[in-house]
Amino acid sequence: MWQALFESLQGQGTVVLAIAMDNAQAARPWIEAAKPSYPCLIDRDHHVADLFNLVNVPQALWIDEHGRIVRPPETAGSTDVLRMMDRSNGALPEPIMAERKRIKALYLDAVRDWAQKGAASEHVLEAGEASQRLVPPDPAIAQAHACFRLGQHLLRGGQADQARVHFDEAIRLHPDSWNIWRQAAEKDARGLAAGPDFWARVDALGEKAYYAPIEMKGVGPAG
């Protein structure tokens, strides 16, 4: 997933830390196929999403040598194209594809710029700006993460029906979390939570983004 990026960061004091919002069993085939040389961690309870108030994948944040957040969580170069997709085959119109590629490249270039220049990179945010961009969780979100944690624990203990009660409560409390919804949803044969229920949720977004656009030079407000 990030292997090419990681290789281009060699010797620049930068590490990629990939975190699967997933259980080990589901993540394993992906990790084994990608053969990453950077650490791939398994976060079955979505603890990191609770800590940093994450709602979807891929999201990324940048942490400097001193453990300080210099870019708060944001969409990791993905663009909000789901609703322009041909749902029968996943195809996107050519101009959308091109824009998607451009944004992704721009984001990865920004990561490389930071790896090279550190604090001097134009993509490193000043403390005030970084704090301002951080979205703190509200009480419902904090409660939702507790419900999700309980659901995951019960599911592992074989209590699927009980777990569902707590997942539903988590989703009700935190409807913006795709992490919670998709992790708890029925998966198809490919392991994806991308059936009619998923598309109904996407359609119900209205004006809201599935992937919030990155705030970065060169990225238009339309993402």
Partner 1 sequence: MLTLLHEQRETTLPNASASGDALWLDRHDIEATTGWAWKPEGLCRDDICVPLPRDAAHSIVKHDKLDLAAMWRHMGQPVVHDATASTWVFGTGPAQRAAALTSLEAPDFELPDLDGNLHRLSDYRGKKVFLATWASW
Q: Would the CA dihedral through 215, 218, 221, 223 be positive or negative?
A: negative
Task: Give the span between the Cα atoms of 99 and 86, in whole angstroms.
Answer: 17
Judged by CB under 8 A, the residue of 21, 82, 155, 219 near partner 1 is 21
> How far, in Å, CA of 98 to CA of 172, rounded?
36
Taking CB under 8 A as the rule, does residue 185 contact partner 1?
Answer: yes
Q: Does 82 bind partner 1 (CB under 8 A)?
A: no
Helix (H, G, I), strand (E, B) or coil at 141: helix
Residues in binding contact with partner 1, number by CB under 8 A? 87
Q: Does 17 help bind partner 1 (rule: CB under 8 A)?
A: yes
Joined together, the tokens standing for residue 223 give: 């993402």
Q: Taking the complex as a whole, how short is the minimal distance between the CB of residue 64 and partner 1, in angstroms? A: 6
Residue 98 or 138 with smaller CB distance to partner 1: 138
Q: Tell whether residue 102 is a contact of partner 1 (CB under 8 A).
A: no
In the list 8, 69, 96, 106, the residue contacting partner 1 (rule: CB under 8 A) is 69
Position 164 contacts partner 1 (CB under 8 A): no
Q: Counting contacts by CB under 8 A, is residue 155 touching partner 1?
A: no
In Å, what is the CA distance from 59 to each residue of 21, 45, 76, 88, 95? 11, 16, 5, 26, 24
State the DSSP code for 21. Answer: S
* Cβ pair 87, 199 in contact under 8 A: yes
Which one of 98-106, 175-183, 200-208, 212-220 is the stretch in contact with partner 1 (CB under 8 A)? 175-183
Find the binder of partner 1 among 79, 155, 167, 183 (CB under 8 A). Answer: 183
Q: What is the greatest pairwise CA distance in the chain?
A: 52
